[in-house]
Amino acid sequence: MKQTDSSLTSSRKDDHILLCLESDVQYSGITNGFDDIIIEPTLLTQFSSEEVDLSTTFLSKEVNYPIIVSGMTGGSENGRVFNESVARICSEFNIGMGVGSQRAAIEEPKLVDTYKVRHIAPNIPLIANLGIAQFIQGYDHVQAQKAITMIGADALAIHINPLQEFVQGEGDKNQSKALKKIVDLKQELDSPIIIKGVGTGLTKEDAKTLTQLKIYALDVAGAGGTNWSRIEYYRNKEVKYLSDKFLNWGISTKNSLLNAVELAENKSVKLIASGGVWCGFDAVKALLLGADYVGLALPILRSIGKGGIDDCRKFLSTYILEMKAVLAMLNISNLEELKKERHKILDKI
């Protein structure tokens, strides 16, 4: 029997979860780049780490930390269970959360519930998600609004992932109309738009073009964390001779951030640093470089997959403890101060 588009989308989402839980899906030979940034711990800290205040606002809501769990899943029973766990954690920590691509639910209304988390997390900033590939194939503001309304989201993230689509057997190989589609959507949609990659990074030219559109936020999704070319390579038996060099191609998260910081600041576009930002230490470095928020995906999936909500709670608590301790040892007690001091700290390097 031929699989329908929606059942194909649904089983692809399950493949992704399984591969991310059980296989090596990271970049090899390329890191997030943050090890290049040396920061020095003072002995004479003026603050207790517990005093450090990481609260900020995201999508006009107060959040306790500048941390976002990036969109991952939905569209299958596993996805529903996972989204509900993430929502519980994000509500507990009061941080932002994205769901994975809602294409499956737009195509098959029975799957809508696998994305809904407002009953669990009524107050957090919540981000809907669709791929640019769907817009290129005919979606417009109607489906975009549907995705937002479906989950009571505060914004829509549109992911652009040409490299992943090129390697994916069933992928959409022509993304040449991506920019035009974003321009149209920006004009037609009232809700904030976040543009994100999925882990190959951002060139300076990309950053320039996208920040000029005055979207709400740009997620640099740099290389050094989850490697989507590798994930699709595992799924697609037809491309087994692809080179390792190609499969590990990307701009590190640090370099992607550097490509975007000034441009985003000038246009008042918020900047999200994601792509292997998997410890509090690197999160602080991302903020020092000019990110407004950090986003993370794989460690959240893995901690929930291996040890459930308790393990994820431990992971995030440790991540935050690390961020606070690092900031205390840089003599910074809140994010406003960090923004003021960041150039001085980086100049010392």
Residue with the shortest CB distance to ligand FMN:
225
Question: Which lies closer to ligand FMN via its Cβ, residue 129 or residue 333?
Answer: 129
CA distance 25 to 250: 14
Answer yes or no whether residue 274 interacts with ligand FMN by CB under 6 A: yes
CB of 221 to ligand FMN, least distance (A): 4
Residue among 33, 79, 225, 305 that touches ligand FMN (CB under 6 A)? 225
How far apart (Å, rounded) are the C-alpha atoms in residues 289 and 259? 11
> Mask of contacts with ligand FMN, 228-257, x by CB under 6 A?
------------------------------
Nearer to ligand FMN, 65 or 333 (CB): 65
Look-up of token digits 């035009």: 180
CB of residue 252 to ligand FMN, shortest distance in Å: 12
**How many other CB atoms sit within 10 Å of the CB of residue 165?**
19
Q: Which stretch binds ligand FMN (CB under 6 A): 86-94, 174-182, 272-280, 308-316?
A: 272-280
Residue 124 identity: I
Asked if 17 touches ligand FMN (CB under 6 A), the answer is: yes
d(CA 42, CA 58): 30
Q: What's the distance, Cα to Cα, between the start and end of the chain in Å?
A: 61
Least distance (Å) between residue 334 CB and ligand FMN = 25
Q: Which of residues 150-169 bind ligand FMN (CB under 6 A)?
A: 157, 159
- Residue/partner pairs of 17-24 with CB below 8 Å, 24 or more apart: 17/72, 17/73, 17/76, 17/78, 17/79, 17/82, 17/301, 17/305, 19/231, 19/234, 19/235, 20/226, 20/231, 20/298, 20/301, 20/302, 21/301, 21/302, 21/305, 21/306, 23/231, 23/234, 24/230
Give the range of 166-174, 178-186, 204-212, 297-305 binding ligand FMN by CB under 6 A: 297-305
Q: Cβ distance 19 to 80 under 8 Å?
A: no
Only one of the segments 16-24, 139-147, 168-176, 240-248 lies at the binding site for ligand FMN (rule: CB under 6 A); that segment is: 16-24
Name the residue with tokens 């929502």. 87
Q: Which of 105, 163, 272, 296 binds ligand FMN (CB under 6 A)?
A: 296
The H or E element spanning position 33 is none
Stretch that binds ligand FMN, among 40-48, 69-77, 178-186, 322-330 (CB under 6 A): 69-77
DSSP 139-161: --HHHHHHHHHHHT-SEEEEE--
DSSP three-state, residue 34: helix
With respect to ligand FMN, which residue has the nearer C-beta, 100 or 192?
100
Judged by CB under 6 A, the stretch of 36-44, 65-73, 164-172, 202-210 that binds ligand FMN is 65-73
The CB-of-13 to ligand FMN minimum distance in angstroms stands at 7
Question: Shortest distance, CB of residue 214 to ligand FMN, whole angstroms?
Answer: 21
Contacting residue, 10, 12, 16, 288, with ligand FMN by CB under 6 A: 16
Q: Binding of ligand FMN at residue 198 (CB under 6 A)?
A: yes
CA distances from 258 to 86, 114, 168, 280 (A): 30, 36, 29, 19
288, 345 in Cβ contact below 8 A? yes
* Distant-in-sequence, close-in-space partners of 152: CB < 8 Å, separation ≥ 6: 116, 118, 126
Q: Could you say which residues in the range 111-150 bind ligand FMN, by CB under 6 A?
A: 129
Question: Using CB under 6 A as the criterion, which residues of the chain lie in contact with ligand FMN when the complex forms?
Answer: 16-17, 20, 70-73, 100-101, 129, 157, 159, 196, 198-199, 221, 225-226, 274-276, 296-298, 301
